[in-house]
Amino acid sequence: MDFSVESATATVVESFRDTRDPRLRAVLESLTRYLHAFVREVRPSLAEWNQAIEFLTAVGQTCTDTRQEFILLSDVLGVSMLVETVNAQQTGTAGTVLGPFHMTESPPRALGDSIDLIGGARRCVVSGWVTGGAGEPVGGAQVDVWQCTEEGFYDVQQPDLQPPGNGRGLFTTDDDGRYWFRTVVPSHYPIPTDGPVGRLLEATERHPYRPAHIHFLVTAPGYEELTTHAFVAGSPYVDSDAVFAVKQSLVVDFTESHDESAAAAFGVATPFIHARFDIVLQERL
């Protein structure tokens, strides 16, 4: 039987019948159905289809060891956030996207160390407790953090200006489940706009900015892995994140503190900016 608009999807779905991995088969069948339905709805001209091929090719070819343009595309289409959301833990701290900058390993650091290796101006302490759902402290949890500078750049974007590992640290909570580290207040920043995803945003009159945030990836034995951000309250674009990652429960006050005893405990001088971000993990079932 000839390939037709009506028979196309069944024909292609049938071609996957011998796939060994049942999950792969189910994903490809679903992909075929939705992709074909999209084509039937928009009826792209051959010139438009060619533009799409060229766009996707350019996205792939923009990727390097330190840049992931396909994650960026997934981000601006809300797909990354949707995948995160369907996988999110049902209790505890809300999750959000991993983002494209978790591409190097964060250097292990001691509690209280600074992840600001270049001497930024707005010195800051971030601290919190990692607990389970019943409030039990989670000692020995790995708290991986990464953030941009006060100018809005990650280390991998400025290899000539920042040492590797600037803005990154892998901390381990103490027996009480506490973590704390020194840093600078990160800036809001544009996602990279000099590639095909930037051209897409420009053509759709969307701004490329993300509100200021610090990334967290928290793991502990017996608990679900948590990927999230602490967003800086009051940051520009906190209501219109280009990658849709803001959740209200993740917006954290970064406030100036004159508390001498807290400053002494954290090893900083007053005044300092303090952000408290507690993390609640969900037990693995």
Assigned token pair, 141: 């949890």
Interacting stretch for a copy of itself, rule CB under 8 A, among 11-19, 228-236, 259-267, 272-280? 11-19
End-to-end CA distance of the chain: 49
Q: Measured from the CB atom, is 182 or 215 closer to a copy of itself?
A: 215
- Peptide bond preceding 271: is omega within 30 degrees of 0, i.e. cis? yes
Does 90 sit near a copy of itself (CB under 8 A)?
A: no
**Cα separation of 165 and 109, whole Å?**
11
CB of 257 to a copy of itself, least distance (A): 29
Site string for a copy of itself, 97-136 (x = CB under 8 A): -x--------------------------------------
Assigned token pair, 233: 């309250």
Site string for a copy of itself, 146-165 (x = CB under 8 A): --------------------
CA angle 157, 159, 161 (to 5 degrees): 100
Three-class secondary structure of residue 204 per DSSP? coil
Binding residue count for a copy of itself, defined by CB under 8 A:
73
Q: Measured from the CB atom, is 32 or 147 closer to a copy of itself?
A: 32
Assigned token pair, 105: 């390993």
CB of 43 to a copy of itself, least distance (A): 5
Q: Identify residues 15-54 at the interface with a copy of itself (CB under 8 A).
A: 15-16, 18-21, 24-28, 30-32, 34-46, 48-49, 53
Which of 9, 162, 173, 282 touches a copy of itself by CB under 8 A?
Answer: 9
**Cα separation of 188 and 269, whole Å?**
25
Q: Identify residues 174-213 at the interface with a copy of itself (CB under 8 A).
A: 203-206
**Cα separation of 246 and 96, whole Å?**
7
CB of 9 to a copy of itself, least distance (A): 8
Q: Measured from the CB atom, is 86 or 121 closer to a copy of itself?
A: 86
**Cα separation of 172 and 109, whole Å?**
8
Q: Identify residues 226-245 at the interface with a copy of itself (CB under 8 A).
A: 227, 244-245
**Cα separation of 277 and 127, whole Å?**
6
Residue 210 bridge partners (DSSP)? 189
Which of 83, 161, 265, 269 touches a copy of itself by CB under 8 A?
Answer: 83
Q: Measured from the CB atom, is 63 or 233 closer to a copy of itself?
A: 63
**Cα separation of 79 and 73, whole Å?**
9
**DSSP H helices in the chain:** 8-15, 22-42, 46-62, 69-76, 79-87, 196-203, 260-266
Q: Measured from the CB atom, is 88 or 145 closer to a copy of itself?
A: 88
